[in-house]
């Protein structure tokens, strides 16, 4: 079958032919119908060899939906032909975190060598993929695969981050979304669907700000050195109760700390290498800073339910499998509007 692989450190990913995978006991083989392209892949591919957390070559793609093509021995609960979404942050399934559905924070994944598809295990940007357990599948029902696939990460990750701050997102509050790309443009819609907060979006180009307004941001502001001042002006000096940073670079993290309200939350989702120290005179009193990773199994079900209710419409650019390298190239240069989705 054809697959998109990251094969050599620093090289662009390429389409190659690999052996057709077969499901082992307990595993499920999917025919991939759609796979999403995430900026985290670019972050991983820009690491030097000694910081790469998995061996190469690697089939990319940690957002996947498909139809069940074959069931390994002992698998029950699914039938060949079922449409499913893949829950990506695979864990052991039995530790204290996994028992709560928080496989994204599995206590034993590293020790057991369990890694997400596309981030260590063979991923979704291929004609077929292996899912290690039916536990990691959520029925898609009548959801459109192209619309649904970004929800497995670009939806789930902001959904989880927003849920952490829901008690602070009361009427009259302000939520700032920094970076309105794949994750950020979904975050704006989730904030609108889940809260009464005013949503202020920040990005670096007018095109991205236009998309932010189109998907529901009340205000869209250029992300520059003055952004924190603008947010304080928009909030009568109070600042934002919640700042979600989908860039996470040193300048955006500094802005986030400068625009958050007393008792507010700064949530660093982007892998841009920034850090925000906490201390007196550094951030406002009682501001909390955290850096969450992906989301829980139950939350993926919740996000798909929200989409089914019509609350989220992902802005998608579609590519064939052969065009997948161009999708990464465009994402790398900040030219993707919304989420790039590969249709193998």
**Span of 73-81, 93-101, 230-238, 284-292 interacting with Zn ion by CB under 5 A:** 93-101
Strands (E), 147-215: 174-178, 198-203
Nearest approach, Cβ of residue 245 and ligand NAD (Å): 8
Residue 59 near residue 127, CB atoms below 8 Å: no
Cis previous bond, 331, omega within 30: no
203 binds, among Zn ion, ligand NAD, none (CB under 5 to 8 A by kind): ligand NAD
| Number of residue whose CB is nearest ligand NAD | 181
Nearest to 93 by CA among 82, 78, 77, 104: 104
252 binds ligand NAD (CB under 6 A): yes
98 binds, among Zn ion, ligand NAD, none (CB under 5 to 8 A by kind): Zn ion
Residue 183, SS3?
helix
Q: Beta 339-343 vs 174-178: how paired, if at all?
A: unpaired
264 binds ligand NAD (CB under 6 A): no
Question: Binders of ligand NAD among 265-284, rule CB under 6 A?
Answer: 269-272
Question: Binders of ligand NAD among 295-324, rule CB under 6 A?
Answer: none
In the complex with ligand NAD, the residue whose CB is nearer, 43 or 95, is 43
Q: Can you tell me the distance from the alpha carbon of 227 to that of 301, in angstroms, rounded to the nearest whole number?
A: 35
208 binds, among ligand NAD, Zn ion, none (CB under 5 to 8 A by kind): ligand NAD
Q: Which of 40, 173, 189, 195 binds Zn ion (CB under 5 A)?
A: 40
In the complex with ligand NAD, the residue whose CB is nearer, 182 or 264, is 182
Nearest to 255 by CA among 283, 233, 236, 296: 283
Nearest approach, Cβ of residue 241 and ligand NAD (Å): 19
Residue 216 near residue 199, CB atoms below 8 Å: yes
Residue 202 near residue 181, CB atoms below 8 Å: no
Q: Which of 153, 265, 299, 302 binds ligand NAD (CB under 6 A)?
A: 153
In the complex with ligand NAD, the residue whose CB is nearer, 3 or 340, is 340
Q: Beta 260-268 vs 240-245: how paired, if at all?
A: parallel
Q: Which of 18, 92, 204, 222 binds Zn ion (CB under 5 A)?
A: 92
Q: Can you tell me the distance from the alpha carbon of 203 to that of 190, in angstroms, rounded to the nearest whole number?
A: 18
Q: How far is CA 207 from CA 166, 183, 336, in A?
A: 29, 16, 10
Question: Binders of ligand NAD among 22-51, rule CB under 6 A?
Answer: 38-40, 43
Q: Can you tell me the distance from the alpha carbon of 15 to that of 2, in angstroms, rounded to the nearest whole number?
A: 7
95 binds Zn ion (CB under 5 A): yes
Strands (E), 102-226: 128-131, 137-139, 174-178, 198-203, 219-222
Residue ranges binding ligand NAD (CB under 6 A): 38-40, 43, 153-154, 157, 178-184, 202-205, 208, 223, 246-249, 251-252, 269-272, 293-294, 331, 334, 336
Residue ranges binding Zn ion (CB under 5 A): 38, 40, 91-92, 95, 98, 106, 108, 153
């Amino acid at each position: 079958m054809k697959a998109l692989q990251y094969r050599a450190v620093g090289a662009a990913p390429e389409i190659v032919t690999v052996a057709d995978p077969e499901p082992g006991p307990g595993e499920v083989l999917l025919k991939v119908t759609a796979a999403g392209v995430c900026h985290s892949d670019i972050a991983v591919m820009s690491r030097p060899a000694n910081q790469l957390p998995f061996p190469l070559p690697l089939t990319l793609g940690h957002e996947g939906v498909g139809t069940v093509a074959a069931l390994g021995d002992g698998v029950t609960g699914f039938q060949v032909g079922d449409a499913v979404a893949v829950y990506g942050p695979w864990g052991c399934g039995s530790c204290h975190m996994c028992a709560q559905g928080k496989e994204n924070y599995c206590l034993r994944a590293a020790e057991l060598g369990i890694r997400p598809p596309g981030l260590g295990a063979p991923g979704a940007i291929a004609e077929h993929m292996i899912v290690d357990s039916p536990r990691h599948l959520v029925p898609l029902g009548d959801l459109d695969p192209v619309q649904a696939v970004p929800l497995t990460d670009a939806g789930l990750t902001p959904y989880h981050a927003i849920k952490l701050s829901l008690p602070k997102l009361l009427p009259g509050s302000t939520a700032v979304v920094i970076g309105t790309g794949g994750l950020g443009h979904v975050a704006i819609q989730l904030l609108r669907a889940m809260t009464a907060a005013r949503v202020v979006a920040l990005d670096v180009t007018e095109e991205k700000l236009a998309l932010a307004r189109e998907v529901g941001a009340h205000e869209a502001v250029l992300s520059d050195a003055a952004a924190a001042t603008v947010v304080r002006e928009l909030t009568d000096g109070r600042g934002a109760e919640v700042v979600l940073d989908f860039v996470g670079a040193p300048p955006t993290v500094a802005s986030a700390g400068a625009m958050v309200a007393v008792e507010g939350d700064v949530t660093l989702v982007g892998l841009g290498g920034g850090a925000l120290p906490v201390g007196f005179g550094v951030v406002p009193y009682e501001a909390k800073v955290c850096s969450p990773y992906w989301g829980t199994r139950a939350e993926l079900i919740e996000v798909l339910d929200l989409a089914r209710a019509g609350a989220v419409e992902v802005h998608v650019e579609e590519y064939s499998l052969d065009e997948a390298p161009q999708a990464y190239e465009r994402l790398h240069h900040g030219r993707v509007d919304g989420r790039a989705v590969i249709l193998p």
